[in-house]
Amino acid sequence: MKRRIFVTSGLVAAMGLLWSPLAYAKSLPSITINGGSGTPSQTLSILALLTLISFLPAILLTMTAFTRVVTVLSFTRSALGLQQTPPNQVIIGLSLFLTFFIMAPTLSAINHQALTPYLAGHLTLLKAGKNALVPLRLFMYQQTRPQDLALFLRMAHAKAPHGLSQVPTLTLIPAFIISELKTAFEIGVYIFIPFIIVDLVVSTVLMSMGMMMVPPTLISLPLKLLLFVLANGWSLVVQSLFMSFHGGG
């Protein structure tokens, strides 16, 4: 008898577990795939927009001027011999706003060609995304070295393009990143040279004076900071970064 009661109770509990999701599903709002005139529904449009927002950090890191800016600023801090000054948060924050400043023409074009018409209801989300990609592709293409682009086209077994319209986006993005890193390293070399000279001079003077027990960085670090401040170093670095984009790459 007890066994029969236990089995019956188990069947009732199983039926309750199966019925609860079905009853709950009936109370959920229905999701339609297609809207009017064959366009995606508002639910799918919102989902696509949220997905795009989640990709914004990756877009910022790989498809804008952020890569070159943050790398050069990190080189500047290392050349000065400073480990945590300025802090990483300051470097990233300055890089972010410098990126917005450098890419102002591209962002303005995206706003006029994609964002404003989409908010006004003149474009679908898909069409707005395609329009927004056009200025961004143009920016990346202008900053990408031909040899870097040719490298990725060769690895992709693609034909040599006759213009930007024939360059695949998935090929353009890694070529752009490689070009940005190469340009950032070139600028970093020019930043390192004067500070290396200061280190060599200080080390030579200390050895000639027999002060081999004195760490060279104890003397060279204040001299490098003084040289950087007197030369208005941050302004020169920011100006060089801006000219590297708007002066032909």
Higher pLDDT, 156 or 242: 242
Considering the domain boundaries, does residue 223 fall inside one? yes
Domain annotation covers residue 130? yes
Total domains, the chain: 1
Q: In this structure, is residue 29 part of a structural domain? A: no
Instruction: Give the C-alpha separation, 68 to 51, whole Å.
Output: 26
Distance CA 243, CA 249 (A): 8
**pTM higher than 0.85, yes or no?**
no
* Domain-located, residue 15: no
Structural domain containing residue 154: 42-246
**24 pLDDT tier (thresholds 50, 70, 90):** very low
In a domain, 3, yes or no: no
Task: Compute the average pLDDT of residues 111-122.
Answer: 82
The verdict on residue 140 lying in a domain is yes
Both tokens assigned to 216: 């060279």
Asked whether residue 29 carries a pLDDT value surpassing 80, the answer given is no
Residue 120 resides in a domain: yes
Least-confidence region, from 29-38, 71-80, 84-93, 216-225: 29-38
Lowest mean pLDDT among 21-25, 54-58, 133-137: 21-25
Residue carrying structure tokens 């020019």: 190
The answer to the question of residue 75 being in a domain is yes
136 and 63 Cβ atoms separated by less than 8 Å: yes
